[in-house]
Amino acid sequence: MSMAGGTQATGSWVGYEHAAYQGQQFVLERGEYPRWESWSGSNSYHIERLTSFRPIACANHRECRLSMFERENFLGRKGELSDDYPSLQAMGWCNNEVGSFRIHSGAWVCYQYPGYRGYQFIMECDRHCGEYKHWREWGSHAQTFQIQSIRRIQQ
């Protein structure tokens, strides 16, 4: 990916299905993406082109920490993460839903299904002041509060 003026872009980016940062979002970390399956992975959403992009400024794989809550507005049971989890149920989270997130540091990508599959929701400490009080704040395409796997975004 190149930026205007021939400067090479580095770090992690979010690619969006539509212009103006709308629609489904996909995390783009260092690497090559020759076909749509490369960025959409095994989530089976056939999106052949991404229309808008923005950098993820706060991605720091070494210093990531988040709190997740069972209900909206940081209520209910709380879980704290500082590592990747391919299955939240396997780590002891009792259901397949998360009501809200507080991102203390770093950037994360949350997935609808275990094994890093399904819709992707990018959560950053530098956006929304790190507070995602309701699932509708997870992105313009958010239609579910089902989160079953989470991983840190690498710079």
The string of pLDDT tens digits covering residues 17-28 is: 889 888 888 888
CA 52 to chain centre: 16
Residue whose entry in the numeric block shows the structure tokens 């709380």: 78
Does 133 have pLDDT greater than 70? yes
Which sequence spans correspond to the domains of the chain?
13-55, 65-152
Confidence bin at 51 (pLDDT 50/70/90): confident
Sheet holding 13-18, edge to edge: 22-28, 13-18, 52-55
The span from the CA of 126 to the CA of 112, in Å, is 22
Residue 66 has what pLDDT? 95
Of 3.40.50.9100, 2.60.20.10, 2.70.98.30, 3.30.300.20, which CATH number belongs to 65-152? 2.60.20.10
97-116: average pLDDT: 93
For residue 19, the number of C-alpha atoms closer than 13 Å in the C-beta half-sphere is 0
